[in-house]
Structure 1
Amino acid sequence: MDQPLPVSLSLEPSPQYEILKEALQKEGEEGKRSACVPPNDKAVLTVRIKPSEIAEVNISVSAAVDQASQPGCGDGQTLPPQRRDALIKPIKVEAEGFLRENSWSKYICSKDFETGEDSLETWQLTLPSVLVKGSARGWVTAVGDLLALTLENLGNLIRMPYGCGEQNMINFAPNIFILRYLDTTKQNTPQTRTKLLTFMKTGYRRELLYRRHDGSYSAFGNVDDSGSTWLTAFVLKSFQQARQYIQVDTDQLKETTDWLLRLQGTQDGCFESVGKLINKQMQGGINSGNEVSLTAYVMAALLEAETPKNDTIVSRAALCLTNDTSTHPYALATKAYALALASHPNATSLLQKLLSQAAVTKNAMYWNLPKDNSRAVSLETAGYAILALMTHDPKTNEEKARKIVKWITAQRNGQGGFYSTQDTVVALQALATYEGHLHQETLNVKAVVTANNFTHTFTITDNNKLLEQYQSLPTLPTTVSINMTGQGCVVLQAVQRYNIPEPEPSDAFTLTVNTITTPDKQCTTKRITACAAYRLPDQKSNMAVIEVDLISGYIPEKQDLKQMLKLDPNIKRYEVDGSKIHFYMDELLVEDTCVNFRVIRQVDVEDVKPGTVIVYDYYQPEFSISKRYTLPPPEECR
């Protein structure tokens, strides 16, 4: 406005924080401030608070035009009538140290109790002897559908960033399986459909950023030397399947298909592996001498993308698969699924070989892989096994598939996903396929969860089967017991999260973190240097991420981040997400890869806790190392 304005401001009290009293302030006025705001200008008013819980803390502020708050402000002028406004904004309050999560999940069917094929369980939620005070929290959830947890947490299925062409697909592909399943089972609602389509459209637009000029796709788009056979096939099948739901450029799809088909050998029918394998295991042990699993993946992708079964491309790829003698469970599972999609007679014998290698218990079926394979590979093997069984003969194979589904469900994290990108996508496709083939019997279950000083009964019916019912656990550590009555299948999950002050050691990586003051007039600039290297005998990791969590109140100098991409070709990309900066490396080697950038203090925060740096292998997240760091004192440059 063109005149001064007397404004009173009030920060509303909350059990989530304490409003700190300033000197000379009267009791009861801790959250109140006022200002005479000059014409066409602003006033900054500071209220100190101390959060009292680890959560998204809502800050509620109201402001009003109030002559009484600033006598003499705008004297002699006609003030506007009293106006009032309010604003609620969340701030994230996190525990210091390093977040850890444990989860226990069980897919329970009443008929398995009747036949004695399954039994109820007890879960021990224990805590380490040393943890960050106040950081432990736990809860239990119940749903009546295998995909409900995923539906509830879309956009946040794994605790990893989505900054490359493959990782972004987790925001895209699962929506297709879920939407198709909900349509088939007539469970869709306008709200759910809108949510799924929004994620799909956003994922589609973002994925086009990784499209190369020749129609192929790679982890970092045109920054890479070549498109990736595997990622291009993944994108092609996903875009083709999404066409019934969203607008997809068909000319671009044809270019992508043509690029892929040029890689097929005319003699052996195998597809050539082109482009950097950001996952050196290619989720199942592909190396330069074995392209069969890749061919199985591409063949399945083409068939899922509605390529006719009698097409020459399909019959050539089938020749490659049938000539292969590999008996690795992952190879068997991918080959069995691809050949089942093509209705090939060899699918039956491959499935029998795969099932003969399975570990079978009373209520689970899974595959113990060689120790150099990650947990993600075991999960993918199980996912492809379900897809092969349900494609080959769903009615006959339902019981076998259910045992694998139970094992897969037990691997779920607290967000509804699994370990990393591709294993989550394969597992969710398998669960959607399995659930879509089931005979939908009436669901009416009462699941009773008992813990220390806590009992809760979840009622799950056809009307609320997609709703994630949630109850927090009042005390930790605790023992959680489950019981159920009624008819149908439900998924119960307990999740426990806590922070530890010091991380566990790592055999896979080394990490050093150094900080210095970079003098400036305001004394607000520091520099962080973090260097990581790989230690294992194979001398290079998969794609790796260095995640720097900044100390509260600091922001990165963007120019330094951009400069790093020019100076080190191994650092492919960075992303800033709140206080976290993620740096993506093609791989980490035995020599150090370093990130080095300035940070600037933007907000004064008292009693700041140390920041953290975490390095991990994207495809084997169990390979990680973490360190705490502090910054030199603010006044050092004076």
Structure 2
Amino acid sequence: MPQKQDVAVNLSIRSPDNTMMTFTKSIISKPNDRITAAFKIIPEQIGDWELAVTVKSALASYHLNKTLLVKPGGVTQFYSQPILIDLNKSNTFNTVIQLPMDPADRVTGSEKVIVDVVGDILGVSLHNLDKLIRLPTGGGEPNMAIVASSVAVLKYLRNTNKTSHQKEKNLASNIQLGYQQALTYLRNDNSNLFSMRGPTDTNSSTWLTAYFTRVFAETSQRLPKSSTKVIEKAIQFLIDQQNDDGSFRESGKIIDSYVESGDSKQVFLTAFTVLSFTEYIKTGKAGIEKLNASLQKAVAYLESQVDSAKSDSYASAITAHALAQANSSKSLDALNLLKDLTVTDASTVHWKTPASVEDETENAGYLYATHPIDVEATAYALLAHLANGNWNTSLKIASWLISKQNAEGGFFSTADTVVAIEALAKFAQFITDAPAIQIDLMDGIQKRDVTISPDTAMAVRSLEFAQKPTDIAIHARGSGMAVAYVSWTCNVQ
């Protein structure tokens, strides 16, 4: 204002525990100028602090409310334990989840325990689709992982009649944006082929081209017409990379160290390409005759390698899956050999790979408890068992995969996340009974209830516990399936 004025500046603060504090300063404002009233505060509680400022003079007044969020210091540690609640064989379910002990250097007040409950196996993954892919960031392969996850979830929602206009719109947007992003990895030599580094790369990648082909063939109806030529060129390139014995060779640089240097890398790459071919054939597009001949040679190669790949569960798993998709007569043989490599306990089945065993030996106590490549191999094995109608084993495999998810429904890397989501989506399609479940969560102090009905199955209910308990007991009754994700976070100095 044009006049000099005496101004009272009042700052009121409400702390997270509802304690009120008020501070006042008197200042003189100069005509048509500004002046600052500074209040130095040090919040000592974690949470929302409500700030209310009132400025008043003889001529005017003004009021402003703001919230100051105070977060704990230090580095956040995460723990997540998903539990598959299966009420198909019994109408009751009981388990107790032991939570980790607080670290000695924890930041006081930073502990948080949340239980997310959902009546659909893919509910949390769908809710957090944009957060599933964490590492690595950038590049052609992570982009395709997001697209492939979106394709798998969209197919699941459609096949189970659980889709909605908004969900379909969001997933379709992911797919279309992913396709546009994929085009930036085409080389600049008029070959229109994909490489890990994009336009300036010297060689196209067989593996990445097969990846693009399979994913975009699955969703070709959602892509522009120009995509047909891109996919056709990719198919021809893949055929040109086939060796005389039916296997495929990698012509470029790739991220996956297993595919690059694993003992069974040729078996894996051939199985991976077979999956792309079988998916493309379903589209009924041009060039199928030539492709069929190449596919038959590749299948014959995989059939000849079934016995030699039995020492490598990763190669065995994707081979069994690929042979099942190609309707090979050796599909069941491959599956039986894969069963000999299982790691089982009372309620779950999974596979360990040579690479993960070696890493665990060299880095005992350092690496994460489950190697990403074990998740990937187990996911391929689940797809192979589902194709052969082995429901009881499939249920045990799915239980293990779900137990390795993080709180957002993803896994460790792009590779294992996309294969595991695809496998769980396929598994979930076989669950025909709608859930009708009552779940009780008890931490020794209080009991929290969640009711799941067919109408609310896709909704994620989050329950936060005010104080960190030592354990959480889960009791469920009813029918159908649900998943409970017990998550704990704590900051350390």
TM-score (norm 1): 0.65
1:516-595 alignment, distance < 5 Å: none
Describe the shift of the 1:52–1:223 C-alpha distance in structure 2 as closer, same or farther (beyond 3 A): farther
Describe the shift of the 1:247–1:452 C-alpha distance in structure 2 as closer, same or farther (beyond 3 A): farther
Question: Could you report, residue by residue, the CA deviation over 1:388-434 in whole angstroms, capped at 9, with x for unpaired residues?
Answer: 1222x33xx11110110000000010111011101000000001111
Which of 69, 73, 90 does residue 113 from structure 1 map onto?
90
Report the counterpart of residue 366 of structure 2 in structure 1. none
1:53-68 alignment, distance < 5 Å: 68=59
Which of 372, 375, 384 does residue 358 from structure 2 map onto?
372
Q: For the residues of structure 2 that align with 1:10 and 1:156, how far apart are their CA atoms?
A: 42
Describe the shift of the 1:52–1:351 C-alpha distance in structure 2 as closer, same or farther (beyond 3 A): farther
Report the counterpart of residue 212 of structure 1 in structure 2. 187
Other structure's SS at 1:457 match: strand
Corresponding position: 1:166 with 2:141: yes
Report the counterpart of residue 300 of structure 2 in structure 1. 319
Tell me if structure 2 keeps the 8 A contact 1:143–1:492.
Answer: yes
Q: For the residues of structure 2 that align with 1:286 and 1:28, how far apart are their CA atoms?
A: 69
Report the counterpart of residue 550 of structure 1 in structure 2. none
Other structure's SS at 1:311 match: helix
Report the counterpart of residue 236 of structure 1 in structure 2. 213
Which of 231, 237, 242 does residue 264 from structure 1 map onto?
242
Q: For the residues of structure 2 that align with 1:97 and 1:481, how far apart are their CA atoms?
A: 30
Other structure's SS at 2:472 match: strand
Tell me if structure 2 keeps the 8 A contact 1:209–1:221.
Answer: yes
Deviation at 1:59, TM superposition (A): 9.2
Q: For the residues of structure 2 that align with 1:194 and 1:62, how far apart are their CA atoms?
A: 43
Specify which structure has the bigger relative contact order, considering alpha-carbon pairs within 8 angstroms and separated by 6 or more residues. Answer: 2
Q: For the residues of structure 1 that align with 2:479 and 2:143, how far apart are their CA atoms?
A: 39
Describe the shift of the 1:474–1:351 C-alpha distance in structure 2 as closer, same or farther (beyond 3 A): same
- Mind listing any 5+ residue stretches in structure 1 that lack a counterpart? 71-83, 502-638
Other structure's SS at 2:281 match: coil
Q: For the residues of structure 2 that align with 1:85 and 1:207, how far apart are their CA atoms?
A: 51
Corresponding position: 1:281 with 2:273: no
Amino acid in structure 2 at the alignment position of 1:369: T
Other structure's SS at 1:140 match: strand
Describe the shift of the 1:280–1:442 C-alpha distance in structure 2 as closer, same or farther (beyond 3 A): closer
Tell me if structure 2 keeps the 8 A contact 1:17–1:52.
Answer: no
1:439-478 alignment, distance < 5 Å: 440-478=432-470
Tell me if structure 2 keeps the 8 A contact 1:58–1:89.
Answer: yes
1:307-456 alignment, distance < 5 Å: 311-324=292-305, 325-327=308-310, 328-370=312-354, 371-372=357-358, 375-391=371-387, 393-394=388-389, 397-438=390-431, 440-456=432-448
Across the aligned residues of Structure 1 and Structure 2, the Cα RMSD in angstroms comes to 3.9
1:67-106 alignment, distance < 5 Å: 68-69=59-60, 95-106=72-83
Amino acid in structure 2 at the alignment position of 1:372: E
Tell me if structure 2 keeps the 8 A contact 1:386–1:401.
Answer: yes
Amino acid in structure 2 at the alignment position of 1:423: D
Q: For the residues of structure 1 that align with 2:230 and 2:68, how far apart are their CA atoms?
A: 41
Deviation at 1:159, TM superposition (A): 3.9
Amino acid in structure 2 at the alignment position of 1:287: G
Q: For the residues of structure 1 that align with 2:277 and 2:10, how far apart are their CA atoms?
A: 61
Amino acid in structure 2 at the alignment position of 1:408: L
Describe the shift of the 1:492–1:37 C-alpha distance in structure 2 as closer, same or farther (beyond 3 A): farther
Which of 217, 222, 230 does residue 245 from structure 1 map onto?
222
Report the counterpart of residue 523 of structure 1 in structure 2. none
Q: For the residues of structure 2 that align with 1:48 and 1:95, how far apart are their CA atoms?
A: 19
Amino acid in structure 1 at the alignment position of 2:219: A
Other structure's SS at 2:447 match: strand
Amino acid in structure 2 at the alignment position of 1:142: V
Amino acid in structure 1 at the alignment position of 2:74: G
Question: Could you report, residue by residue, the CA deviation over 1:33-92 in whole angstroms, capped at 9, with x for unpaired residues?
Answer: 999878xxx99997766566667x79999999x99459xxxxxxxxxxxxx99998998x
Tell me if structure 1 keeps the 8 A contact 2:136–2:414.
Answer: no
Deviation at 1:252, TM superposition (A): 2.1
- Stretch of structure 1 that moved more, 327-336 or 468-477: 468-477
Deviation at 1:493, TM superposition (A): 1.2
Report the counterpart of residue 487 of structure 1 in structure 2. 479
Q: For the residues of structure 1 that align with 2:17 and 2:198, how far apart are their CA atoms?
A: 45
Deviation at 1:183, TM superposition (A): 1.1
Other structure's SS at 2:468 match: coil
Describe the shift of the 1:276–1:487 C-alpha distance in structure 2 as closer, same or farther (beyond 3 A): same
Q: For the residues of structure 1 that align with 2:151 and 2:96, how far apart are their CA atoms?
A: 33
Deviation at 1:500, TM superposition (A): 2.4
Deviation at 1:240, TM superposition (A): 1.9
Q: For the residues of structure 1 that align with 2:377 and 2:80, how far apart are their CA atoms?
A: 21
Tell me if structure 1 keeps the 8 A contact 2:176–2:222.
Answer: no
Deviation at 1:453, TM superposition (A): 1.8
Amino acid in structure 2 at the alignment position of 1:411: K
Q: For the residues of structure 1 that align with 2:180 and 2:28, how far apart are their CA atoms?
A: 45
Deviation at 1:289, TM superposition (A): 7.1
Q: For the residues of structure 2 that align with 1:500 and 1:129, how far apart are their CA atoms?
A: 8
Other structure's SS at 1:128 match: coil
Corresponding position: 1:497 with 2:466: no
1:596-611 alignment, distance < 5 Å: none
Amino acid in structure 1 at the alignment position of 2:242: Q
Amino acid in structure 2 at the alignment position of 1:234: Y
Describe the shift of the 1:462–1:247 C-alpha distance in structure 2 as closer, same or farther (beyond 3 A): farther
- Mind listing any 5+ residue stretches in structure 2 that lack a counterpart? 283-287, 360-369
Amino acid in structure 2 at the alignment position of 1:383: A
Deviation at 1:233, TM superposition (A): 1.5
Corresponding position: 1:147 with 2:128: no
Fraction of identical pairs, as percent: 24
Q: For the residues of structure 1 that align with 2:254 and 2:32, how far apart are their CA atoms?
A: 59
